Structure 1
Amino acid sequence: MGFFQRTGILAGLRSGAWLTGERVRGYSLILLGLGAAAIVGWLALSDAMIDRNGKPIGTDFSDPYAAGTLALAGKAADAYVPALQHDAERAVFGGRDVPFYGWHYPPFFFAVAMAVAALPYGWGLLLWLTSSLAAYLAMIRMVLPRPETLLVALAFPAVLVNIGHGQNGFLTAALLGGALHWLDRRPILAGVLIGLLAYKPQFGLLIPLALLAGGRWKPIGAAAATVAVLFALSVAAFGSGIWQAFAESTRFTQDVVLEQGNTGWEKIQSIFSAARNWGATVPVAYALQLLLALTVAASLAWLWRSTAQFELKASALATACLLATPYVLDYDLVVLAVSIGFFVRHGFARGFRDYEISMLAAAFIVPLLSRGIAAGTGIPLGLLALLSLYAFTLRRAVADCATPTAATALPAHS
């Protein structure tokens, strides 16, 4: 401790003075450059959309694309049968033996799968990533309308992780962040966005609780109506049996993908995965996950009933959505941009407290490091970052409630 005090490192971490605006821009440009170089190299070394490791470019994207081809052929239910889904994935790449990527989504997500599958694989991947990235950037610019926002949002390492997997982190963040942004301004629109988020049902565990605690009845009604319409449309398109196929497939998802760790413990950022990685049994890991979820739920309900500023409620909810589920992967950490964005917005308006800037910087860089550190050391860096961000948000909320101006409107930027 004496060394850190003498060198001023501890003081810098405490104040956050080390992270100047110039450094934010410089670090962001470095991360963007490294990310761009990685993507170019990845594509240059690929052969017919297969990388040097024998995996499809966009890896996980091959799963919705193959499911979309099945749906377009009138065989949507086959996507929920692992062997048939894997056959469809092989067919996409001319029969080459690519790894299996399961289709775990509710039937209404076939609409997206069919849209991208109507194009050649590479063009479908490009359409998916660019459109969902645009939605993510538009959302974060609304949450934090500052000149540097887009640069920092693009440089966020979770963006590169999500692109590498061809995954849906951009869409998840855009829907959740957009819903929170519009919640009080246009509650019906917010509810529709929350309803659309049902394509990732594991992230919706605590959203109804927060809305109920905050008395947001219009978004609740709009979200319920949206899910009902999505259900009806999927039944009309694929028949009622499609939901039975989905329900039966969830057992495979739970057993093989989550509990047995076939996805890789280092990729999953939950306390369940951390416990399993440390050797805990499945019941013990579930007990720890349940304990954390209940703790987060109780604190979130208090927060959304409190007089704390909405920005803190929004930041906490976005983080809580990631903490409550046992199945959250590193590409899902794009949602951290929502948490960080609302937190920073409140910080610019009210000032930052001790260690907050350094904590935010750590949360920002974690998606770049979490998988490698978890694989090499067993330390669940992503989980620790989520817990730290949530705790700091609650700390700020407690102080916010103690101020006489807590219920006043908060400007979007300084």
Structure 2
Amino acid sequence: MDHMPCARLRLPAPLMWVFGSMIVMTLFIADYRASRHGVIGLSEMWGRDFANIWTGGKLALNGRLDLLYDLDRYRGFEHALYGTVGIHNYSYPPIALFLDMPFALLPYGPALMLWLGGTGLLFALAARPWLTEGCAPWLLLLTPAALMNIWAGHYGFLIGALFLAGWHWLPNRPGWAGVCFGLMALKPHVAVLVPVILLLRGDWRTIAAAALTVGSLVMASVVAFGSDLWAQYLTVTSGVQARMIDPGQEFYGLMATSLASALLRQHIPAAIAYGLQGMAFIGVALGVTSATIRGAPPGALALLAATGTFVLLPYAFNYDLTVVMLAALVVYGRPEASPMEKAIALIAFVTPQWGMMASAIGIPLTPIALISLFGVQWHGLVRPGRGAPAGAGAAR
């Protein structure tokens, strides 16, 4: 297996890393100043969305899963746990409870540290095969998106690790690749392009392994927790997530990556916002399909799909852009990249944080940057006379 040359992962100057991380550093400082006994202000815990993982585990261990997808009663249970209500909701499928329960056996603080440290380690290990000696994988834990994931206490490292490991193992260990892709059902929408590419490529063993993994997890969750949870997840929770596409002026809207959310936040009519989101969806679908049919290797398709996923999804957030950071760094390091392509890569690299500031003043920087990065990646794969695509060496 060839690796992507280290030169192709040429890192931006340290100043760019510092600039790209200024927003989350400000958030950490603000949280520290507002925190007392682990509670930030009147409504949040350190680790923020990790509170949902810990609460879900507590509900499962205490036999109170009837509260899991009931917003008011769920927040009441959180209030009893933390002394604060917040605006949390449990948005994950019932299979995530198997992951939640071990963390809920620990006190909140140690559980949060184990979550961030453990998933961060998995992400660094999964990234190693994509790099050569001298390209330290731990640096990928300090990208703007990675730091947002640490601040938010979210799944960005874990889902990113499964994504990278799946594509790395695809050529030589298709069964293990399928298991990794199947485990991404923890956040199924982030894996939306994976089955499309696998079907186009005819990777039937991987598809079968992924389907078996998902099916086994679903059946195990039905046996352990009952089928009613799935009915609630597919109705109540999906409706909550659909409503979150239009964030209004809520803070989480600044973290959204979709074009629809950015436009709706600026009071663009819904028909226009969703129409443009639909065009982005079609563009990504056509781009990924054409690159796959033209024979792009798995490593390049993986990074293309990583970016494309957040262009086509109407519901997604910046803490999940961990693999997109790798894609931006690969584009930036291409020897043949033009100054414009390098500039696009750098903007995409800092947009997980600076896109929030831009959104606050009415500029939809995040979706524009992601669309532009996807276009640069796609052009690098399909342009006439191209050699092996940058980033293709991680999986062939």
* Pair in the same fold by TM > 0.5: yes
Matching of residues 245-256 of structure 1 within 5 Å: 245-256=232-243
Distance 1:145 1:160, change over 3 A: same
Return the TM-score normalized by structure 2. Answer: 0.88
Q: C-alpha deviations, 1:129-170, integer Å up to 9, x for none?
A: 111111111122221234243353132011221111111111
- Does 1:130 pair with 2:113? no
- TM-score when normalising by structure 1: 0.84
Farther-moved stretch of structure 1 (329-338 vs 45-54)? 45-54
Closer, same or farther in 2 for the Cα pair 1:176/1:335, shift >3 Å? same
**2:255 aligned partner:** 267
Q: Residue in 2 aligned with 1:168?
A: 155
Give, in whole Å, the separation in 1 of the partners of 2:391 and 2:253.
42
Instruction: Say whether the 8 Å CA contact 1:144–1:341 is kept in structure 2.
Output: no
What is the alpha-carbon distance in structure 2 between the residues aligned to residue 408 and residue 267 of structure 1? 29
Answer yes or no: is 1:385 the counterpart of 2:369. yes
Task: Give, in angstroms, the shift of residue 224 of structure 1.
Answer: 0.8
Which of 251, 276, 292 is 1:304 aligned to?
Answer: 292
Closer/same/farther in 2, CA of residues 34 and 60 from structure 1, 3 Å limit: closer
Q: Is the contact between residue 318 and residue 338 of structure 1 (CA under 8 Å) also seen in structure 2?
A: no
Give the deviation of 1:43 after TM superposition: 4.5
Q: Counterpart in 1 of 2:312? A: 324
Matched residue, 1:210:
197
Q: Report the CA distance shift for 1:356/1:283 in structure 2 as closer, same or farther (over 3 A).
A: closer
SS for the counterpart of 1:355 is helix
Corresponding residue number in structure 2 for 1:83:
72
Does the aligned pair in 1 maintain the 2:329–2:349 contact within 8 Å? Answer: no
SS in 1 for 2:372: helix
Structure of larger gyration radius: 1
CA separation of 1:240/1:53 partners in 2, compared to 1, >3 Å: closer, same or farther?
closer
Partner of 1:72: 61
Q: Deviations over 1:44-88 (max 9, x none)?
A: 762111124642111111122112111111122311000111012
Larger mean Cα displacement after TM superposition, 146-155 or 199-208 = 146-155
Please tell me whether the aligned partners of residues 366 and 382 of structure 1 are also in contact (alpha carbons under 8 angstroms): yes
Is contact 2:254-2:356 (8 Å) kept? yes
Q: Which residue of 2 aligns with 1:5?
A: none
**Cα 1:40–1:280, aligned 2, differ >3 Å: closer, same or farther?**
closer
Q: Give the AA of the match of 1:277.
A: R
Alignment of 1:5-404 (within 5 A): 24-25=13-14, 27-28=16-17, 39=28, 42-43=31-32, 46-52=35-41, 54-93=43-82, 96-259=83-246, 261=248, 264-340=252-328, 343=331, 347=334, 351-376=336-361, 378-399=362-383, 402-403=385-386
* AA matched with 1:402: G
Match of 1:14 in 2: none
Give the CA deviation at 1:218: 1.5
Instruction: Tell me the distance in 2 between the aligned counterparts of 1:324 and 1:410.
Output: 23
Q: What runs of 5+ residues in structure 1 fail to find an aligned partner? A: 1-18
Q: Match for 2:290: what amino acid?
A: W
Aligned partners of 1:65 and 1:117 also within 8 Å:
yes
The residue type paired with residue 165 of structure 1 is A
Q: 1:270 to 1:317 in 2, by over 3 A?
A: same
Aligned-pair RMSD on alpha carbons?
Answer: 3.0
Q: Contact conserved, 1:45 with 1:51, CA < 8 A, in 2? A: yes
Deviation for aligned residue 1:198: 1.1
Q: CA deviation at 1:412?
A: 5.5
- Per-residue CA distance 1:7-44 (angstroms, 9 max, x = gap): xxxxxxxxxxxx986x6356547878997797578457
CA distance in 2 between partners of 1:338 and 1:216 (Å): 24
The letter of the residue matching 1:317 is A
Question: Larger relative CO (CA 8 A, sep 6+): 1 or 2?
Answer: 2
> For structure 1, which segment, 144-153 or 312-321, has the greater mean C-alpha deviation from structure 2 after superposition?
144-153
Unaligned runs of 5+ in 2: 1-8
Q: Which amino acid aligns with 1:383?
A: P
Identity %: 29
Aligned equivalents of 2:41 and 2:144: distance in 1?
22
Code of the aligned partner of 1:293: F
The answer to which of 233-242 and 301-310 deviates more is: 301-310
Residue identity opposite 1:311 in structure 2: G
Shift of the alpha carbon at 1:254?
3.5
